[in-house]
């Protein structure tokens, strides 16, 4: 066997091993859609809190009206459910096209790795809201989401780890610049998701 053929054979074996050990049914297009949902939700939240005031400086007031809080929570839940539905639906569709199972050892490992930081962050955010500590909510969600991504990065595309680190950085910056949580939230869950989705789509799809 020629050296060139041997290299190709090794690359083929490596590719098969990677497919069997990593969850590759994540769709880049779904990430773009999820990022779009987040931007729309952030735009609505910005309008509810600040109206049409487009000043991007320091925010010295926060939500303290129950009606607005309910609207923001409903918006957040709608964005969450739409994102989960889109991600799962397109992952199933991609897995079928690749003749792969959506629920296997790798996908279960990915889910378990991400579940603890995601659930912890969600509960932490709800507790902060109940204590009317709204300034930290965006930071909490970004940081724990980033931790979840880095924890699950061993079971899927390597780019997930980079996305997770950037989410954590944005969460920490949101703590340093209180009053701008919506902006950092939009950057993390919106812009970064769209950029990541485009990269994954071009590279793997």
Residue 117 contacts residue 167 (beta carbons within 8 Å): no
Q: Is the pLDDT of residue 191 over 90?
A: yes
Q: Can you tell me the mean pLDDT for 177-187?
A: 88
Structure tokens at 65: 């009206």
pTM of the model: 0.78
Q: Is the pLDDT of residue 21 over 50?
A: no
Q: What is the pLDDT of residues 25-73, one digit of tens each?
A: 677 888 999 999 999 999 988 887 776 655 554 454 555 567 777 888 8
Check residue 99 and give left, alpha or beta (phi > 0: left; psi -120 to 50: alpha). Answer: left
Q: Is the pLDDT of residue 129 over 80?
A: yes
Burial zone of 155 (CB within 10 Å; 0-12 exposed, 13-18 middle, 19+ buried): buried
Q: What is the pLDDT of residue 22?
A: 57
Residue 17: pLDDT band by 50, 70, 90 thresholds?
very low
Q: What is the pLDDT of residues 86-117, one digit of tens each?
A: 988 888 887 777 677 777 777 788 888 899 99
Instruction: Look over the chain and give the mean of its residue pLDDT values, rounded to a whole number.
Output: 80
Task: Count CB-CB contacts under 10 A for residue 86.
Answer: 19
Structure tokens at 203: 């590279």
Greatest pairwise CA separation for the chain in angstroms: 74
């Amino acid at each position: 066997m020629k050296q060139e053929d041997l290299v190709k054979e090794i690359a083929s074996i490596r590719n098969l091993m990677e497919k069997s050990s990593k969850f590759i049914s994540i769709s880049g297009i779904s990430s773009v859609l999820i990022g779009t949902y987040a931007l729309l939700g952030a735009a609505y939240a910005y309008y509810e809190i600040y109206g049409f005031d487009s000043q991007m400086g320091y925010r010295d007031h926060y939500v303290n009206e129950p009606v607005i809080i309910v609207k923001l929570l409903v918006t957040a839940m709608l964005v969450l459910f739409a994102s989960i539905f889109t991600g799962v639906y397109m992952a199933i569709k991609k897995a079928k096209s690749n003749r792969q199972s959506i629920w296997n050892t790798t996908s279960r490992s990915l889910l378990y790795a991400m579940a603890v930081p995601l659930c912890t962050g969600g509960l932490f955010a709800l507790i902060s809201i109940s204590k009317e500590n709204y300034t930290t909510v965006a930071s909490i969600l970004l940081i724990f989401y980033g931790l979840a991504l880095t924890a699950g990065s061993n079971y899927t595309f390597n780019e997930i780890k980079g996305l997770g680190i950037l989410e954590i950085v944005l969460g920490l910056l949101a703590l340093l610049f209180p009053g701008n949580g919506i902006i950092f939230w939009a950057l993390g869950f919106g812009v970064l998701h769209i950029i990541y989705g485009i990269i994954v789509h071009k590279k793997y799809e």
